[in-house]
Amino acid sequence: MTTPAELIACQDALCDTGRMFHQRGWSLGTSSNYSVVLQQQPLQLLVTASGKHKGRLTRNDFVQVGADGKPLYEDQPKSSAETLLHVAIAQETTAGAILHTHSVWATVLSEQFFTEGAISITDYEMLKGLDDVTTHQHLEHLSIFDNTQDIAQLATDLRDRFQQQPEQLTHGFLIRQHGLYTWGETLDDAQRQIEVFEFLLECIGRRGHS
């Protein structure tokens, strides 16, 4: 069970994440959403509330939700519209934190590569910043899902992919014209993977398709 002090520490850490990502241009305005896993059994997540500016998050801008994505307490704000995606990732991986950004490059490239179904990334030294990757020759398959307002269906599609083709969801995925999702065993791990992916996506965007 999460203690009050641990909950505050998680809130403060996510506030710091929001400020950093906003400064980098990855989470502008009210875009993006972040969560940490408070406990696995039964699942409890601390997730950003809906409609909050990520550069100005406070401790009051988070919601504790259960495995159904619904708030655990009545006096909380509305959770992010994409909470069920966080739930799906938390249940299908060993993630302790899940981060979603809306950068320019993730948005543009997810559209450009959508018909291919994924962005294949290899030969970049920065790939070694992803969990368990030890060589620049690693081939990263960054799947792209179509954007939709039917988050429940998208969460189902995501679970199906995890269970049937887990190799396509090793470190993260994109949503078309929307943004990037990644995760890690800790919040620091998830932040590192956001930084690595955003670097790689910018490299691909700047060089073109060649």
CB–CB of 61/73 below 8 Å?
A: no
Confidence of residue 209 (pLDDT cuts 50, 70, 90): low
The mean predicted confidence, pLDDT, of the chain is: 96
The CATH number linked to 172 is 3.40.225.10
What angle in degrees, to the nearest 10, is found between the helix axes of 83-92 and 151-164? 20
Structural element, H or E, at residue 36: strand 33-39
Domain that holds residue 65: 4-207
Query: What is the tens place of the pLDDT at every residue in 90-137?
Result: 999 999 999 999 999 999 999 999 999 999 999 999 999 999 999 999
* 115 and 39 Cβ atoms separated by less than 8 Å: no
| Residue 2, pLDDT above cutoff 90 | no
pLDDT in tens, 40-61: 999 999 999 999 999 999 999 9
Alpha-carbon distance of 39 to 36, in angstroms, equals 9
Number of folded domains that form the chain: 1
Mean pLDDT of 15-26: 98
